[in-house]
Amino acid sequence: MLRLMSGDGNSLDVLREYDVLLVPLLNWESSASGTFLTELPNEVLDMLNAIYDEVLDTKHPIRVVFVTSCSIGPNYTEGVTSLVPSASPLLGLLRVARMEVPQVALLCVDSDTYDATELASQVVNELEKATPVTGMKKASPIEKAMAFYSTNREVAYRGGRRYLQKLDLSARMPIYIGRACPVLTQTLAAGPILITGGTGGLGLIAAQALAESGAKLLILASRSGAESLPNNKKLQDLRDQGVGIVVEKCDLSDEEQVFDLLGNIRSTYGSIRAIIHASGVQDNKPILYQDDDSMDCVFGPKAFGAWLLHVHTLEDHLEAFVLFSSVASLFGFPGQANYAAASSYLDELALWRAAQGLAAVSVQWPAIAFKGEPPKNKDGMQTSLSVDAAKQVMKQLMCGTEAITPVQAVLPEASLTPTSPTVASLLQPLTALGKKTQSQ
Phi-psi region of 374 (alpha: psi -120 to 50; beta: other; left: phi over 0): beta
The verdict on 307 and 404 lying in the same domain is yes
d(CA 80, CA 352): 8
Instruction: Please write the tens of the pLDDT for every residue from 216-250.
Output: 999 999 988 765 665 678 888 889 889 999 999 99
d(CA 209, CA 194): 14
Q: Is residue 172 domain-resident?
A: no
CA neighbor of 40 nearest in space, from 360, 420, 348:
348
Please say which residue of 164, 198, 221 terminates a domain.
Answer: 164
Q: Is residue 205 domain-resident?
A: yes
The verdict on 196 and 240 lying in the same domain is yes
Q: What is the pLDDT of residue 11?
A: 55
Output the average pLDDT for the chain.
85
C-alpha count within 13 angstroms, C-beta hemisphere, residue 194: 32
Contact status, residue 110 vs residue 73, Cβ threshold 8 Å? yes
Q: Is residue 341 domain-resident?
A: yes
Q: Is residue 175 domain-resident?
A: no
Return the C-alpha torsion angle 74, 275, 282, 237, nearest 10.
Answer: 140
CA neighbor of 281 nearest in space, from 295, 293, 298, 294:
298
The verdict on 125 and 195 lying in the same domain is no
d(CA 293, CA 150): 32
CA neighbor of 334 nearest in space, from 95, 15, 60, 44:
95
The verdict on 223 and 145 lying in the same domain is no
At 399, the amino acid letter reads C
The verdict on 151 and 278 lying in the same domain is no
CA angle 321–225–207, rounded 5-degree value:
40
**Buried/exposed 338-352: b ≥16 CB within 10 Å, e otherwise:** bbbbbbbbbbbbbbb
d(CA 368, CA 437): 28
Cα radius of gyration (the chain):
23
CA neighbor of 310 nearest in space, from 264, 244, 359:
359
Q: What is the pLDDT of residue 35?
A: 64
The verdict on 345 and 414 lying in the same domain is yes
The verdict on 148 and 241 lying in the same domain is no
Q: Is residue 180 domain-resident?
A: no
Contact status, residue 48 vs residue 61, Cβ threshold 8 Å? no
Q: Which structural domain range is residue 60 located in? A: 12-164
Please say which residue of 97, 129, 164 terminates a domain.
Answer: 164
The verdict on 332 and 429 lying in the same domain is yes
As for how many domains the chain has, the answer is: 2
Q: Domain containing 98 — which CATH number?
A: 3.40.50
Q: Is residue 177 domain-resident?
A: no
The residues near 101 (Cβ < 8 Å, ≥ 6 apart) are 48, 52, 55, 56, 287, 288
Q: What is the pLDDT of residue 378?
A: 86
The residues near 314 (Cβ < 8 Å, ≥ 6 apart) are 358
Q: Is residue 375 domain-resident?
A: yes
The verdict on 74 and 108 lying in the same domain is yes
Q: Is residue 51 domain-resident?
A: yes
d(CA 266, CA 25): 41
- How do 153-158 and 161-164 pair as beta strands? antiparallel
Segments of the chain scoring below 70 in pLDDT = 1-15, 27-35, 76-82, 226-231, 433-440
The verdict on 155 and 192 lying in the same domain is no
Q: Domain containing 220 — which CATH number?
A: 3.40.50.720
The verdict on 332 and 427 lying in the same domain is yes
The verdict on 225 and 309 lying in the same domain is yes
